[in-house]
Amino acid sequence: MKVVITDYQYENIDSERSIITGAGYELFDYQVKTTPDLIPVVKDADAVITQYSDINAEVIEHMQNCKIIIKYGIGVNNIDCEAASRKGIYVCNVPDYGVDEVSDHACTMLLALGKKLPILAKSFRKGEWGYSSVVPLLRLSECTLGLVGFGRIPKMVARKMSAFGMKVIAYDPYINETAAQELNVTPVTLEQLLKDSDLISVHCPLTKDTYHLIGKEEMTLLKPNAILVNTARGGIIDEAALIEALQNGKISGAGVDVFENEPVTPEHPLLHMDNVIATPHSAWYSETAIHTLQRKVAEEVVNVLNGNPPFNCVNMK
């Protein structure tokens, strides 16, 4: 059987090659992302591994033998899951490779912005002594943290941030209330979360239902001191609405690791605001996370090609 890697950004794919060829399958790797380039390389593949390629309905329609499409990562918004389901192709991801890294990144942004460290450090470098540049500053233990989504990563964020004494609330249509109770997290509606939270961390997947989940209208519900952090997917927050809210002082600050269109240019407005921490979609990164991701992707491919049900399927239950 033939396994195709459409694209990847890693130093090498030695781990995948060892696992896949060791199981008796062929592995071919490319750096192709567009429909015309993808079709000829995936049409006879039994398994497709992808990172950023546009695996759309047209590409999937040309797949003759494919049993599994798997994403290097968690979010599968670059794969047409409905088209794959119609052809009986599993769409899989690796939901647990970077839970520690992304939750750490989100917590770091929340704490740094909550203490207004970027503003304070810049003022200090200008020669300003004291705390006048960050007035008013809230006590973190008196703040409410709102989590949009309540999967693996936000649960970890809740564990870590609760150590600072914060009240934690969460919005998720599919929330596990037992898990929420165990973590002392209160389930609320999205509207209530936006109104009540001092700090908000976004962790839901990007789907047609969550696209611009937080838009211009939702921004009006936020407190003026609110901080909004997104380490999930850029399209969940209306970027134009976020920029406007920050420029007009409607919210206090933002932490952004993901953007609606990636990569962004150095001229992007969010990269030039004192009350914003912007990072280049790197929250997931550590050497351990990379090695774990590459290994688990290869193991899932071998698992499915061996005739077993997938470990982590997102489109067919």
Q: What is the CATH number of the domain that holds 66?
A: 3.40.50.720
H helix or E strand, kind and range, residue 168? strand 167-171
Q: Are both 11 and 151 inside the same structural domain?
A: no
The answer as to whether 203 is a domain residue is yes
Q: Are both 167 and 64 inside the same structural domain?
A: no
Q: Are both 93 and 103 inside the same structural domain?
A: no
Q: Are both 68 and 143 inside the same structural domain?
A: no
Q: Are both 229 and 291 inside the same structural domain?
A: no
Q: Are both 222 and 233 inside the same structural domain?
A: yes
Q: Are both 130 and 268 inside the same structural domain?
A: yes
Give 300-317 pLDDT, tens digit per residue: 999 999 999 999 999 987
pTM value?
0.90
The answer as to whether 313 is a domain residue is no
70 by DSSP, 3-state: which? strand
Active site residue 281: yes
Task: Give the pLDDT band (50/70/90) at residue 34.
Answer: very high
Q: CA–CA separation, 9 vs 68, rounded Å?
A: 21
Q: Are both 157 and 36 inside the same structural domain?
A: no
3-state SS of 127-159 is CCCCCHHHCCCCCHHHCEEEEECCCHHHHHHHH
Burial label for 281, CB within 10 Å (0-12, 13-18, 19+), is middle
As given in the structure block, the two tokens for residue 246 are 């920050």
Chain-centre distance for alpha carbon 267: 23
Domain range spanning residue 91? 2-97+287-305
The answer as to whether 299 is a domain residue is yes
Q: What is the arithmetic mean of pLDDT over 76-89?
A: 96
Q: Are both 273 and 184 inside the same structural domain?
A: yes
Task: Give the pLDDT band (50/70/90) at residue 33.
Answer: very high
Residue 5 has pLDDT above 80, yes or no: yes
262, 268, 272, 299: the active-site residue:
262
159, 281, 295, 299: the active-site residue:
281
pLDDT for position 316: 84
How many structural domains compose the chain?
Answer: 2
Residue 206 has pLDDT above 90, yes or no: yes
Q: Are both 263 and 115 inside the same structural domain?
A: yes
The answer as to whether 222 is a domain residue is yes
16, 105, 233, 239: the active-site residue:
233
Residue 240 has pLDDT above 80, yes or no: yes
What region, left, alpha or beta, does residue 307 occupy, with left being phi > 0 and alpha being psi -120 to 50 degrees? Answer: left
pLDDT for position 49: 98
Q: What is the arithmetic mean of pLDDT over 228-255?
A: 97
The answer as to whether 311 is a domain residue is no
Residue 289 has pLDDT above 80, yes or no: yes
The answer as to whether 52 is a domain residue is yes
The answer as to whether 106 is a domain residue is yes
Q: What angle do CA 12, 15, 18 make, to 5 degrees?
A: 120
Q: Are both 107 and 89 inside the same structural domain?
A: no
Give 259-288 pLDDT, tens digit per residue: 999 999 999 999 999 999 999 999 999 999
Q: Are both 93 and 130 inside the same structural domain?
A: no
**DSSP track, 264-305:** PPTT-GGGG-TTEEE--S-TT--HHHHHHHHHHHHHHHHHHH
Task: Give the pLDDT band (50/70/90) at residue 137.
Answer: very high
Residue 239 has pLDDT above 90, yes or no: yes
The answer as to whether 314 is a domain residue is no
